[in-house]
Amino acid sequence: MNATTRFVPHGPLGMGGAPLGNLFARIPDETAAAAIAAAWDADIRHFDTAPHYGAGLSEHRMGAMLRHYPRDEFTLSTKVGRLLDPVPDVPDIDEGFEGGLSFRRRLDYSHDGTLRSIEHSLQRLGLPRIDIVYIHDCAPDWLGQSWREQFDIAMTGAARALTRLREEGVIRAWGLGVNVAEPCVLALERADPDLFLIAGRYTLLDQAALADLLPACAQRDVHVVVGGPYNSGLLAGGTTFNYEAAPPGMLARARAIGAVCARHGVDLKAAALQFCAAHPVVAAVIPGPRTPEEVRQNAAAMAQPIPPALWRDLKSAGLLPADVPTPED
């Protein structure tokens, strides 16, 4: 694929849809709708969702609101890799989502399963097209030792289907949506993805994607969308990292970064968002707000002025790599 034709999603700030699927806690329908409306009012035009989020609930909620806005004015992404089978009842908390829809997830990275998943997502969304489709969680953190077997299925199945859909103009781009960098690096060797959604691996606290993935993306003119910019809460005033209690060392590091931000009068969330967005291959950063107020806080954080001295101080203190891109570069 000619690199000049690659689709660039709206940015720099987007909205992740996992919380709208009731991740870890229920959100009333009216709150979810108000959060999406607040995002639009804040000029956010990038929305990400997935069948996995609440077993279709996030897609339903996003589609119900986004149908009110001009379709050509926003980027919409969803994911493949899990089909939803209707069941009479599901546990109240299912794979981390509380009070989701009555469907059971079934892993399927095949060619035909991918096409079926997109068809089902379009119906849940009630929208005429999806811009970006990510192959979801095809990685060791979700699949364990079998992940390479499933990855092979995804490369010969889902990747082939998505490449054809991109060539036919049905979708505009495809890639992987994962929490670790290794599958993305392998996908660049096996296929022609346009972008990756990498969650939690390029943040103020964790730059695991910096060594291999981001340089490889730059070489191929492949974009990155950063999810989990707050590392599940530790960079937003919480105490969790990767959805678990933060290890003492990581907690201390976050506090040290926060102290530098405080000396400069900068909100830690502002530094977290703007750091992620500063890398040349990053097209957008998509935190997952739960409420309209969180949406507005994210928008304000992305716009807050940050003095260049803050980034210099973080580097001199060893809290950021000396050569990492920062907003003043």
CATH number at residue 29: 3.20.20.100
329 within domain boundaries: no
In a domain, 314, yes or no: no
Where in the sequence is the domain holding 212, given as residue range(s)? 9-249+266-308
Write the pLDDT tens digit of every residue in 147-202: 999 999 999 999 999 999 999 999 999 999 999 999 999 999 999 999 999 999 99
Whether 186 maps to a domain, the answer reads yes
* Residue 325, domain member (yes or no): no
Kindly provide the residue ranges of all beta strands, DSSP E only, lying in the chain, ordered along the sequence: 15-16, 46-48, 75-80, 82-86, 93-94, 97-98, 103-107, 132-136, 173-178, 195-199, 223-227, 240-241, 244-245, 282-286
Residue 41 lies in a domain: yes
Q: Is residue 327 part of a domain?
A: no
pLDDT tens digits, one per residue of 26-42: 999 999 999 999 999 99
First to last CA, the chain: 30
Name the pLDDT band for 243 (thresholds 50, 70, 90): confident
Does the residue 200 lie in any domain? Answer: yes
Interval 75-118: pLDDT, tens: 999 999 999 999 998 999 999 999 999 999 999 999 999 999 99
The answer to whether 298 touches 41, Cβ cutoff 8 Å, is no
Which 8-state DSSP code applies to residue 23? B
| pLDDT at position 268 | 97
In this prediction the pTM is 0.96
> Is 250 a residue whose pLDDT tops 60?
yes
Catalytic annotation present for 53 = yes
Residue 320 lies in a domain: no
Q: Choosing from 53, 109, 134, 230, which is the catalytic residue?
A: 53
| pLDDT over 70 at 256, yes or no | yes
Is residue 248's pLDDT more than 60? Answer: yes
Domain count along the chain = 1
